[in-house]
Chains A and B, each alone.
With several copies, the nearest count.
Chain A
Amino acid sequence: MPTTTLKLVTIIAEPVLEATITHDLERLGASGWSITEGRGKGSRGLRASDIPGSNIRIETIVSEPVAEAILRHAAEAYFPNYSVIAYLETVQVARGDKYV
């Protein structure tokens, strides 16, 4: 089974940021994303959600340069004022050409 090596970027953020982040992802070149709802605890706990601790996890499979751009944008635009963490890993994607 031939697979494509791509980057999976995960962003965990306050729910209120959903529209902002997905809009930014599209602009930066992501072809899609998946979102799950959850909760968590970190060192800062800054957030405006009605349910304390709730968050969303946004994942997107992208090429390495897009992944770089997303992490850079997250660090600049979200980190200073929002509860956000972002990380990337390498994944082998079936029919991965679709995502670049």
Chain B
Amino acid sequence: MDSILRTNLLSPIALAFALGIVARLIRSEFSLPKDIYAGISIYLLWALGLQGGIELHHAGFAGIAKPAAVTLLLGCVTPLTTYVVLRRLGGFGAADAAGIAAHYGSVSAVTFIAAQTFVKGMGTEAEGYMPTLLTLLESPGIHIALAIGAIQTGGKGRPTSEVLHEVLTARTMVLLVGGLIVGYLIGDRNWQVIEPFFNTKGAMFRGSLTIFMLEMGILAGARFADLKKVGPFLLAFGIVMPILHGALGVWLGTLAGLSAAGACVLGTMAASASYIAAPPAVRVTLPEANPTLYLTSALAITFPFNILFGIAIYYKIALALAPAAAALPATVVP
């Protein structure tokens, strides 16, 4: 087997995820308690934000303009490609296509974390402002997809604007944006004290992540029974679309001057499908969209694909596209 792929498949993250799936398939009743699941995800996001903030503090915003622009571009393009592909090629109705588009137009923070961990495991490092890009990619795709859906279906659900306030002020955004600001402000002396607890390369972060991935495996495994219900088109879509979006993200990231590691992470973000922010937003604004379709494709197809294979693929694309110099990280973190 290819060595990059192998390294990824034997990582604690991928194996813990696989174990969670297996636990579910043998009908174990084991699952992480709800509050522990929430607690770990709060910790992971807060650590990510803080670390991003301190890195911004070091490297500044120099060079962030272009990557930010292509990230926003991805946020506008990916919901549209998803919608068009599903309607034209897949023959899906407007509500279902828009609902799925909201998921693929947004981003999965856990997949992002896995990509960050992966490139660090490769001995390289993405640009320090990647968490900033994550916050930029979170909501535009949801916004656009819901707007299309509301127009096409007559908008029988809750008004999009109201729901968007919830997306923008949700846990992920508060912790990431807030963490970025706090990390930026506290300075090195304060950071050093808490660094072993929050360092995203550290044992605490990586260890907690394995426990979190167990539960992600359980959640994904619980949806496997629904794979039969979504039909062959969506099965293929859940793998091919991420590859296309991932390649597009890597290419745009490389154009914008990101390192290979950074381009890989941006590609992963584009390829990933939200399963935290998007589902409730879609459920209340597009009631006719079938939740089995969007949840199964995001959680039981695209998420496992990205964790187990996708990230390694996007990294290979990034290495192939990278000019010799850009394969090194643009900013070296001290």
Complex alpha-carbon distance, A80 and B282, angstroms = 16
Check: A46 CB closer than 8 A to any chain B CB.
yes
Other-chain residue from A19, A46, A80 in contact with B291 (beta carbon distance below 8 A): A46
Check: A71 CB closer than 8 A to any chain B CB.
no
Check: A17 CB closer than 8 A to any chain B CB.
yes
Q: How far is the CB of A75 from chain B (nearest CB, A)?
A: 14
Are B284 and A16 closer than 8 Å at their CB atoms? yes
Q: Describe B's contact surface by its main secondary structure.
A: helix
- Contact residues on A (Cβ < 8 Å of other chain), bracket: 10 to 19
Check: A34 CB closer than 8 A to any chain B CB.
no
Check: A73 CB closer than 8 A to any chain B CB.
no
Complex alpha-carbon distance, A63 and B219, angstroms = 35
Are B282 and A48 closer than 8 Å at their CB atoms? yes
Which residues from chain B contact A51 at a C-beta distance below 8 Å? 34
Chain B: residues with Cβ within 8 Å of the partner, total of 18
Per-residue contact bits, chain A 46-59, to B (CB 8 Å; 1 contact, 0 not): 11101110000000
Per-residue contact bits, chain A 14-55, to B (CB 8 Å; 1 contact, 0 not): 101101100000000000000000000000001110111000
Q: How far is the CB of B81 from chain A (nearest CB, A)?
A: 23
Check: B12 CB closer than 8 A to any chain A CB.
no
Residues of B within 8 A of A (CB): 34, 158, 219, 222, 275-276, 279-280, 282-284, 287-288, 290-292, 294-295
Residues of A within 8 A of B (CB): 14, 16-17, 19-20, 46-48, 50-52, 80-82
Cross-chain pairs A/B with CB under 8 angstroms, 26 sampled: A14-B283, A16-B279, A16-B280, A16-B284, A17-B284, A19-B158, A20-B158, A20-B284, A46-B290, A46-B291, A46-B292, A47-B291, A48-B280, A48-B282, A48-B291, A48-B294, A48-B295, A50-B219, A50-B276, A50-B279, A51-B34, A52-B222, A80-B287, A81-B287, A81-B288, A82-B287
Q: What 10 A-B pairs are tightest by C-beta distance, nearest first?
A: A81-B287, A48-B291, A48-B283, A16-B280, A48-B279, A16-B283, A52-B222, A81-B288, A20-B158, A16-B284
